[in-house]
Each structure stands twice: as structure tokens, then as C-alpha cells.
Structure 1
Amino acid sequence: MNFEVKLSVHEILKNKHFGNAEVIAGKAGLYRLVRWVHVLEVTSIENLLSGNELILSTGIGCKGDKAAFKSLVKQSIDSDAAGLCIELGPYISDIPQEVIELANTHDFPLIAFHKKVRFIDITQEIHSLLIKKHYQILSDLEEYSNRLNQLLLSSNPQQKILQLLHEHLKMTVFYISNEGKVQVLSKKTSGEQEKIFQLLKDNKIPRHMNVAHQSVQALNQTFADLFIISEVDAITEFESLILDRSAIALAQSLLRELYIEEQRKAKEAEWVSCWLEGDSNNEQIHQYLSELEPNLKPNGCTVLLCKADNLEKVKSEFTYLKIYFRSIFEQRGIVLLSHLQKSKLVFILLNNWKTGDFKRRVQDGIECLKDSEFIKKQKFAQLEFSVGKFVHNLSHVKNSYHTAKETLNIREKMPNELSNYFYEDLYIFRLVLAAKEQGVLSEFISDYLGPVLMHDQHHNGELLKTLKVYLRYKGEKKATAEQLHIVRQTLYHRLEKLYELIGRDFMDPYKRQAIEVAISAYEYASASELQYEYAYISKSS
């Protein structure tokens, strides 16, 4: 792990080997960080440095050539070296004024040894110091992590973690939750804090301000953003790791709070079950919700069903699953109440914003869930969603629950016909369901499609498919033939048979509508347990 150890040129000058050294130029840059000490005796060094090296040289490569020496200094500056130490002697007897001016212009430390020194002693000493600092950083990081673990076991750990981060790094700390709640730990005035917050919000960080950011994430969901801000030094990798450890600890604290809150709300399951069955009146519902969420003012609601084939296998993770679902929808102004039913999760979605875009927000939430890494890691064999009718009166949740089940039922049976999640998008299938409930669906199908079904059954024909495609393309014979992959003559033959079975007037508006409903009803019935009933009716006809 390559940490940016904070060892400056100024600190190195205090070393015993620099007792006879003199800073000739670039005194303003003495606090540059030194990552390594490097001995160079060549004049072309552009590709030899990575930055922040303190260069040691006798100047043998320059051999008294002032232009070559100036080029060496220029290349060092361009390579972002920390400084250049020159041993004055037979190769370079003094530092040219133009080189001093160049170094001062760029605040580049230029250091001269007036006596001969052993570079090997300097490199060994400084490298040992760098390694010691490196190990000290590892030790500090381990100690910091242990302190975080201790804070996680205390009460109100979030505030204590933020305080520890602020005190340890001596930097301004901003914690901004998804709900917009802002916590600041800083020695700056409230006015200065507000100005910094606005800069963060607008993403307009000035050059003099060094900012590091880390998301506070749990269950693959971001709950807050954590920032550290320095207006003095650049933020090192070590300080970034401290920030990262703090963000992880905050996420653990947050997840624990959410888990405890979900456990507290576990009693809601029984009450939600009664609500779904219509056993609660408006007064009871509002009283319960006010106790559960004091600031909640629901503006209508709907029921969301989520079906998973292997839900029983992840039942132990149900609390975390609820936390994840809740976080997704709360970001979209929807409060969620949950109930577990064997292979289904039942959620009452309480709208906390305006109703105009409620459907879009629910749709966004479902799509977010289906695409999320957290859900994918649960390895559900299949995940199906359906949304019931939106109701303004909370006591009518039973109706929304019933329609959500109907929607799920139809979506499962006819996945190729229905891609939308909402009951309101069932369209003609709502009539099919109504006819089924009234017990007239079989008769309706038989009245309008009976002869066609009988013919296909006895002759292994495709008249029903032809009829459906012909109606879909509004009687356009060319498009129908192309869709069915048959020649025109074959289509004409089939149409003559259809005329014979159901009449030449099947394209008349009202009859056509009835036939289209009957086709949808038959497909629904064929995909359900009712298919044998219709097969029997067709035979008896």
C-alpha cells in the first residue's frame, strides 16, 4: 500500500547530514512533500522521475556547463520534484544567478552542500525515516479503526464518529444525508460553513480548497455523503483512507439503526394484514399511521405485490430486504408498509407527495429494484411485480390489494401480452376479469369464437391466429400475410373459411370489438386452469 507520507523538505533539512547545507533558492517551497530521495548524475531526467523526489547530485553531468545545469533545474521543476541538492565542488563551484531566479520563480528548493557529503548515508537515513513513517501510518490507521469499532458499540455513534474524524484530521467535516440534513464539524464561522456548503452543493470547488468525498452506503444504496475539506495541504492517501474507514463505520451505524427500526415495525405485519382484508376503518388507519410515522400525511395509496420463486430461502434476510425496498421508495416520496405471504411480498405504498406523478415514481422504484446489484445478489429465480388500483380513501386498500393480485395473475399467465405493472394498464383484460367473476366468460367466448375454435381443434388449423393478426392489422391483407409468413392465396382461403364460420360482417365495429375481447379472453383462459373447461365447451358445441 503506497501511502503519501508527510515528510517535507523542511523536516529533512533538520537531519544531521544537512548540517552544512544552505538553501540557495525556493525557500517558499520548503514544505513540499518528499516521497523518495534519488541520486541523479545525468542531465536528461524527464523520464526518470515520478514526482516529489528530493534529488541529490554532484553536478558531474553538467561539468561546469551553466546551460546544462539550468536545464537540469528546469527538468526537475517540470517533473514536480520536491527539490534539488547540489554538492558544490569541482563540477559546480557556484549557483548561477539565472538558476537562482528560476528556482525562486517556481518556489523550487535549491540546496547547496558546501562540504563533501556521503549521498549513501543521506539516502539510507531518509529512506529509513520514510519507512518508519509508513509503518506509523499503518499503526495509526489500525488504531483509528479500533476506535471506530468502540464507538459503534456506544450510544449515538454517528455524532461521535464524525467528531473523531474532525479531531483526528483537523479538517472541516460535512455529513449530508439524502433527506438534506446537514451536519458540520468545523472551527469556521456559520457564515463560512454555509458558503462551503453552497460550493459543495453547486460542485464549484475553488482551487485553493482540497476536498475528499466518500458515499455512506449500505445494501448497495447511498444514504449520505461525507466530505473532508482542507484549505492548507493536499489531502493524502492516508487521510482518504481515514475518510473511507469513517464512512464504512457510519454505514454500519446507519444499517444497525435501520435494522432496529424495522424490527420495531415488525408488529406492523399483522396490522397490515388486517388492513389489506378491509378490517380497519379510516379512523383506525390514520391513528395507527400517526403513531408509526408522526409526520406522514398520506395522499392516497396503492398495493404493490412482489413475487419471487425462492423467497422462502431468503426469509432470514427479510428485514434487510424491507430496509432496501423502503430506502428505494422513500427517495421517491413513498412510505412503505410491508407484509410477507409465502412466495409474495405485499407492500402498501403511501403517497407522501402530489398524485400527478405517483405512477411514474412507482415505476422508477420498481425498475431501480430490478436493476439493483443487491437484488441480483439475492439470486431470485424470478421476480415479478404488480401494482393495484390507486385509491384516495385509505380504507379502500382491500380493493387495491384485490386488483394487484388480479394484475399479477394476468401478468404471469400472459407475459408476452402485458409488460406493464399497473392494474390500470390491463385495458381489455379488466373486462375479461369482470366477465369471469360474473360467470359469463365461457359463454361469451363460445358465442363469438366457438366455430373457429372447433374448426382449429378438429383440423389442427390456424384460423384463430389468422383472425387475431388480421384484426390487429385492421384488415390489411398484405401486412397480415407477411406477419403470418404465408402467401396471399392461403390468406384468402382462410378468410373465406372465417366468413363461413362467423359471418362476413366480423369487421363491423361492434362485432369486431366483441371478437377481440373474446380472443383476449380465450388466451387468458388457455393460460389458466380454465383451459379444460373451454376445451369441454368447444367439444360439446
Structure 2
Amino acid sequence: MNFEVKLSVQEILKSKHFGHAKVIAGNAGLHRLVRWVHILEATAASNFLNGNELILSTGIGWKGNKDAFVSFVQESIDSNAAGLCIELDPFISEIPQEVIELADANDYPLIVFKKQVRFIDITQEIHSLLIQKHYQILSDLEDYSNRLNQVLLSSNPQKKILELIHNHLKMTVIYISNQGKVQVISKKTPEEQDEICQLLQGNNIPRHMNVAHQSVQALNQTFADLFIISESGAITEFESLILDRSAIALAQSLLRELYIEEQRKAKEAEWVSCWLEGGHSYEQIHRYLSEQEPNLKPNGGAVLLCKADNLDKINSEFTYLKLYFRSIFEQRGIYLISYLQKNQIVFILLNNSKADDFKRRVQEGIDCLKKSEFIIKQKFSNLEFGVGKFVDNLSHINNSYHTAKQTLNIREEMPNELTNYFYEDLFIFRLVLAAKEQGILSEFISDYLGPVLLHDQQNNGELLKTLKVYLRCKGAKKETAEQLHIVRQTLYHRLDKLYELIGMDFMDPYKRQAIEVAISAYEYDSASKSTYAYASIPKSS
């Protein structure tokens, strides 16, 4: 770890090997920080410096050459060295006035030893001081981490963590949650605190303000932002590490609170199950919701079903999965109530915003989930979604639940035909499903497609495919032939056969609609069965 150790030139001057040293220039720069000690006798300083070095030299490199001496000092200043210590005699007896004036002009400490000193002893002593500083920082960081752990085990840890940061760093601490709740721990006046919060929330931080920021993250989501503001100078790496560890502790505290909350909700699964079956009245539902979330005022809702092959194998992580879903949708004005059913999760989506863009917000949430690293890392296979009908009255949520199951079933059976997640986007398949449930689907398919299906079965033909493309192209023969990748003459031959099997009038509006529905019904029915024997369909005359 490369901590910024605060060891100044002033502190070093108090060490024993500097007892006979004298500062002859640059007194105003004694606050400069020293990161390393470097013995340098070359005339070109910039090639050997990285910044913040305290240079030790006998001056042999520029002995008798004042211009070289001035150049050396200028280069060390330009390289941001912390200061220059020179041993007078035997190579340099005095410091030129030009060098003293240059050091004073740049607040660059110029220190002379009038007695002979051992540079190796000075180097060892200062490096020991640096190491002690490093060790003290590590010890301080470890002590702070232990205190954080103790706070995490106490009640109301969030506020105590913020107070701990403030007391440890003596800085203003600001915590802003995603919901806009702001907590400030500071000695500033309320007016000053409000002004700073406005600057932070507006991302309009002045250059002179020393601010460090860290997101409070859990489950790959940001739940809050944590800031520290220094009044005494730039924020050091050590202070940034304190901020980072504090943000992690806040995330752990938040995650624990959310986990406890979700466990409590899991115990109420029986109540939710009864709601999904239509067993609760409007008054019971709203009383229940007000107990769960007093500020919740739902404006309708819908049911979202999520299905994956291995959901039933992750019971230990199910709570975290629900937390993740919840964080995604709550950012979009949707409150979630969840219920686990074997290999699928039922989410009741309660709209907490205007209803006209509810579908868009749900779509955004699903898209975010499908792309998220959290879902990918959990290795859920065949993750599928189905959204039921939106209902204004929450006592009718069973209707949305029923339609969500229909949506999910049809999407699973016809993944290439249906790419949308919503019941309202099932289109003709809603009628197809109703016809199948009433037992009239096979008869309908037989009435309008029976001869075509039987011909294809007996002759390994492609009349059904041709008919589907021809109808989709609205009877345009050239476009149909191109999409089927056949010559026009082959298309004419197939159309003649279709005229023979289902009549010359199959492009008439009502008959055409019936045939298109029959094609969709046949594809759905075929997809929902492992085998379907159409050989029994009688050939129409």
C-alpha cells in the first residue's frame, strides 16, 4: 500500500542528526512532505527525482561552479523535491546568494550542516521515521476496521458509522440515499450544510472544495453515496481508505437490514398465495399493504412470473435474488411483493407512479435483469419472464396472475414467434389459447388447414409454409418467391395446388383471417405437444 505519509521537513529537523543543521533559506516551505531521502551528487537533478525527496549532498558535483549549483537547485525545485541539505566543507564553504534567493522565492528549504555528518546515518534515521509512520497508519487502519466491526453489531449502525468517520477524520460527512434522504455529520451550521448538499446533489463541486466520494454498493447496485469534505487540505490516500472501508460497512449494514426485511416478508408467503388466488377483498389488501409500507399508494399493478431451471436449488440465495429484483424495480417506481413456487418466482408489481408508462418501466427492469452481471454469475439457466394483464383494482390481481401464466406458457412454447413479455402482446394467441381450453382448436385447424396439412404429411411438401409466406406478403407473388427462395414457376404450381385444396377464395378477407388464425393455432398446438398426429384429419373435398 502506497500511503501518503505525512512526514514534514519541520519534523525531520527535530531528529538528532539535524541538531547542528541550520535553515538558511525557504523557511516558508518547512511544511513540505518528505516521502524519501536521496543522496545526490550529480549536476542533473531531474533525472533522479520523482518528487518529495529530501536531497542530501556534499556539492562535489558543482564544486566551484556557481551556475551549475543554481541550475541544480532550480531542477530540484521543478522536480518538486522537498528540500536540499548540503554539508559545508570540504567541497563547498558557503552558499551563493543567488541560490539562497532562488530557494526563498520558491519556499524551498535549504539546509546546511556546518559540521561533518554521516549521510548513511541520516538516511537510516529518516527512513525509520517513514517506516514508523507507515506502521502507524496500518495500525490506525486496523484499529478503525475493528471499531467498524463493533459498530456493525450494535443497534442503528448506520448513524454510528457516519459519526465514527466524522470523529476519526474530523471532517464533514454526508450520506445521500437513492431515495434522496440526506444525513450530515458536521460542525458546520445548518445553512452551510444545506449549501454543501445542494452542491453535491447538483454535481457542482467547486475546485477549492476537497471532496472524496464512495458509492455504497451491494448486489452490484448503488444504494447511496458517501462523501467526506476536508477543510485542512487535500484528502490523503489513507483518508480515502477510511472512506472506502466505511462505505463497505454501510453496505453490510444495509444488506443486513434488507435481508431481515425480506425474511420477514417470506413468512407472509401464505397470505400472498391466497391473494393470488383471489381470496382477499379490496379492504384486506390495502390494510395489508399499509402495514407493510405505510407510504405506499399503489396505482394498480400486475403479476410478473420469472422462471429458471435451477431456481429450486438456490434456497440459500433466494433472499438475495429477491433483493436484487427489488432494487431494480424500485428504482423505476415499482414496489415488489414476491412469492416462490418451485422453479418460478411470482412477483406482484405494484405501480407507485403514473400508469401510462408502467409497461415501459417493467420492460426496462426486465432488460436490466437479463443483462446484469449478478444474474449471469448466479448461472440461472433459461431465465424467462411473463407479465400478466395490468389491473386497476388489486383485488383482481388473480386475473393478472392467470394471464401471466398464459403469457409465460405461450412464450416458452413459441419462443421464435413471441419475443415480448406482456399478455397484451399475445395478440391472436389469446384466442388460440381460449379455443384450446374449450376443446375446439383441433376442429378449427382441421376445417381450414386439414387438406394442406395432410398433403404435406403424405408428400413431404411445403404447402403450409408457402401459404403462410404468401399471406404474409399479402399475395405478392414476386416477394413470396424471393422469401421462399424458389422460382416463380414453382410458386405458381404450389398456388394451384392450394387453390385445389382450400378453394380459389382463400384470399377473401374473412376466409383469409380464418386461415391465418388456423396457421398460428397449428404452430402453437404443434409446439405444445411432443407429437401431434394429423393423419387422422379427414381430407376435405
Query: TM-score, normalized by length of structure 1?
Result: 0.95
User: Which residue does the alignment assign to 2:265?
Assistant: 265
Residues 26, 359 of structure 1: CA spacing in aligned structure 2 closer, same or farther, 3 A cutoff? farther
Q: Which runs of 5+ in 2 are unaligned?
A: none
For residue 60 of structure 1, report the CA deviation from its aligned partner. 2.1
Query: Which structure 2 residues correspond to residues 60-99 of structure 1 after superposition, within 5 A?
Result: 60-99=60-99
**Residue range with higher mean Cα deviation, 352-361 or 403-412:** 352-361
Residues 364, 103 of structure 1: CA spacing in aligned structure 2 closer, same or farther, 3 A cutoff? farther
For residue 208 of structure 1, report the CA deviation from its aligned partner. 2.6
For residue 375 of structure 1, report the CA deviation from its aligned partner. 1.6
**Residue range with higher mean Cα deviation, 103-112 or 175-184:** 103-112
Matched, 1:42 2:48: no
User: Which residue does the alignment assign to 1:336?
Assistant: 336
Asked whether the 8 Å contact 1:481–1:488 carries over to 2, the reply is: yes
Matched, 1:303 2:300: no
**Secondary structure of the structure 1 residue equivalent to 2:268:** helix
Asked whether the 8 Å contact 1:525–1:531 carries over to 2, the reply is: no
User: Which residue does the alignment assign to 2:143?
Assistant: 143
User: Which residue does the alignment assign to 2:212?
Assistant: 212
Query: Which structure 2 residues correspond to residues 440-479 of structure 1 after superposition, within 5 A?
Result: 440-479=440-479
CA distance in 1 between counterparts of 2:156 and 2:89 reads 65
Asked whether the 8 Å contact 1:268–1:337 carries over to 2, the reply is: no
Asked whether the 8 Å contact 2:450–2:538 carries over to 1, the reply is: no
**Paired residue type of 1:392:** D
Asked whether the 8 Å contact 2:454–2:534 carries over to 1, the reply is: no
Asked whether the 8 Å contact 2:451–2:538 carries over to 1, the reply is: no
CA distance in 2 between counterparts of 1:126 and 1:483 reads 82
User: Which residue does the alignment assign to 2:512?
Assistant: 512
CA distance in 2 between counterparts of 1:495 and 1:162 reads 78
User: Which residue does the alignment assign to 2:53?
Assistant: 53
Residues 481, 105 of structure 1: CA spacing in aligned structure 2 closer, same or farther, 3 A cutoff? farther
**Paired residue type of 1:394:** L
Q: Deviations over 1:490-512 (max 9, x none)?
A: 22222222222222332333322
Asked whether the 8 Å contact 1:51–1:81 carries over to 2, the reply is: yes
**Secondary structure of the structure 2 residue equivalent to 1:434:** helix
Asked whether the 8 Å contact 1:336–1:348 carries over to 2, the reply is: yes
Asked whether the 8 Å contact 1:175–1:227 carries over to 2, the reply is: yes
Asked whether the 8 Å contact 1:478–1:488 carries over to 2, the reply is: yes
**Secondary structure of the structure 1 residue equivalent to 2:519:** helix
The count of aligned residue pairs is 540
Residues 99, 388 of structure 1: CA spacing in aligned structure 2 closer, same or farther, 3 A cutoff? farther
CA distance in 1 between counterparts of 2:75 and 2:504 reads 92
**Secondary structure of the structure 1 residue equivalent to 2:234:** coil
**Paired residue type of 1:379:** K
Matched, 1:255 2:255: yes
CA distance in 2 between counterparts of 1:128 and 1:308 reads 60
CA distance in 1 between counterparts of 2:220 and 2:511 reads 54
Identity in percent: 80
User: Which residue does the alignment assign to 2:279?
Assistant: 279
**Paired residue type of 2:390:** F
**Paired residue type of 2:399:** N
User: Which residue does the alignment assign to 1:289?
Assistant: 289
CA distance in 2 between counterparts of 1:527 and 1:175 reads 54
**Paired residue type of 1:288:** Y
**Residue range with higher mean Cα deviation, 498-507 or 415-424:** 498-507
Matched, 1:529 2:529: yes
User: Which residue does the alignment assign to 1:538?
Assistant: 537
Q: Deviations over 1:503-530 (max 9, x none)?
A: 2332333322222221111111110038
**Paired residue type of 1:483:** Q
Q: Deviations over 1:213-258 (max 9, x none)?
A: 2111112221111111113232222222111111111111111111
Asked whether the 8 Å contact 1:446–1:537 carries over to 2, the reply is: no
User: Which residue does the alignment assign to 2:385?
Assistant: 385
**Secondary structure of the structure 2 residue equivalent to 1:338:** strand
CA distance in 1 between counterparts of 2:322 and 2:62 reads 72
Q: Deviations over 1:128-186 (max 9, x none)?
A: 11111111211111111111111111111111111111111111111111111111111
CA distance in 2 between counterparts of 1:72 and 1:206 reads 37
For residue 425 of structure 1, report the CA deviation from its aligned partner. 1.4
For residue 21 of structure 1, report the CA deviation from its aligned partner. 2.6
**Paired residue type of 1:173:** V
Asked whether the 8 Å contact 1:310–1:380 carries over to 2, the reply is: yes
**Paired residue type of 1:149:** N
CA distance in 2 between counterparts of 1:348 and 1:383 reads 18
Residues 360, 92 of structure 1: CA spacing in aligned structure 2 closer, same or farther, 3 A cutoff? farther
